[in-house]
Structure 1
Amino acid sequence: MTPSTTLPGGTATLGDLTVSRVGYGAMQLAGPGVMGPPADPESAVAVLREAVALGITHIDTSEAYGPRTTNQVVREALHPYPDELVVATKVGADRDAAGGWPPARRPEDLRRQVHENLRSLGVEHLDLVNMRMGDATGQKEGSIAEAYGVLVDLQREGLVRHLGVSNVTAEQVAEARAIAPVVCVQNMYNLAVRHDDALVDQLAADGIAYVPFFPLGGFSPLQSAALGAVAARHDATPMSVALAWLLQRSPNILLIPGTSKVAHLRENVAGAGLALSADDLAELDTIGGA
Structure 2
Amino acid sequence: MTTDTPVTTFLLGGDLPVHRLGFGAMRLPTGTFRGAVRDPETGVAVLRRAIELGVDHIDTAWFYRWGGVAANDLIRTALSPYPDDLVIATKVGPLLGDEGVPSHQAGPEQLRGLVEDNLRSLGLDRLDLVYLRVGGMGDPGGESIADRFAVLAALREEGLIRHLGVSHVDAAQLAEARAIAPVAAVQNNFHVQDRGGEDVLKQCEEDGIAFVPFFPLGGGLRPLDPARMAEVTARHEATPAQVALAWLLAASPVALAIPGTGSLGHLEENMAAARIRLTPADLALLAA
**Fold shared, TM-score > 0.5 on shorter chain:** yes
Pick closer, same or farther for the CA change 1:97–1:138 going to 2, 3 Å. farther
Match of 1:59 in 2: 58
Matches within 5 A, 1:153-232: 153-220=154-221, 221-232=223-234
Match of 2:255 in 1: 253
The answer to whether structure 1 residue 149 and structure 2 residue 150 are counterparts is: yes
Match of 1:3 in 2: none
8 Å CA contact 1:71, 1:117 repeated in 2:
yes
Distance 1:173 1:181 in 2: 10
- 4+ aligned runs moved over 6 Å, structure 1: none
Pick closer, same or farther for the CA change 1:36–1:276 going to 2, 3 Å. closer
Displacement of 1:127: 0.8
Distance 2:156 2:233 in 1: 44
Unaligned runs of 5+ in 1: 1-7
Letter in 1 for 2:8: G
Distance 2:30 2:160 in 1: 29
Pick closer, same or farther for the CA change 1:47–1:148 going to 2, 3 Å. same
Letter in 1 for 2:182: P
8 Å CA contact 1:38, 1:44 repeated in 2:
no
Distance 2:37 2:43 in 1: 7
Counterpart among 246, 264, 267 of residue 266 in structure 2: 264
Displacement of 1:105: 2.7
8 Å CA contact 1:33, 1:99 repeated in 2:
no
Displacement of 1:253: 0.3
Distance 1:196 1:139 in 2: 9
Q: RCO (CA 8 Å, sep 6+): is it higher in 1 or 2?
A: 2
Letter in 1 for 2:240: P
Moved more, 240-249 or 65-74: 65-74
SS of 2:273's partner is: helix
SS of 2:176's partner is: helix
Pick closer, same or farther for the CA change 1:59–1:38 going to 2, 3 Å. farther
Match of 2:3 in 1: none
8 Å CA contact 2:105, 2:134 repeated in 1:
no
Letter in 1 for 2:231: A
Deviation readout 1:222-253 (Å, 9 max, x if unpaired): 01432122112222111111100000001100
Distance 1:257 1:179 in 2: 30
Return the TM-score normalized by structure 1.
Answer: 0.91
Return the TM-score normalized by structure 2.
Answer: 0.92
Matches within 5 A, 1:43-82: 43-66=42-65, 69-82=70-83
Match of 1:243 in 2: 245
Match of 1:91 in 2: 92
Pick closer, same or farther for the CA change 1:100–1:136 going to 2, 3 Å. farther
The answer to whether structure 1 residue 40 and structure 2 residue 39 are counterparts is: yes
The answer to whether structure 1 residue 279 and structure 2 residue 281 are counterparts is: yes
Unaligned runs of 5+ in 2: 1-5
Displacement of 1:24: 0.1
Moved more, 248-257 or 13-22: 13-22
Letter in 1 for 2:224: L
Distance 2:147 2:36 in 1: 33
Letter in 1 for 2:20: R
Match of 1:21 in 2: 20
Distance 2:135 2:94 in 1: 9
Displacement of 1:99: 4.2
Deviation readout 1:100-141 (Å, 9 max, x if unpaired): 422333122211100100100011111110001121334231
% identical equivalent positions? 51
How many residues are treated as equivalent by the alignment? 279
Moved more, 270-279 or 108-117: 270-279
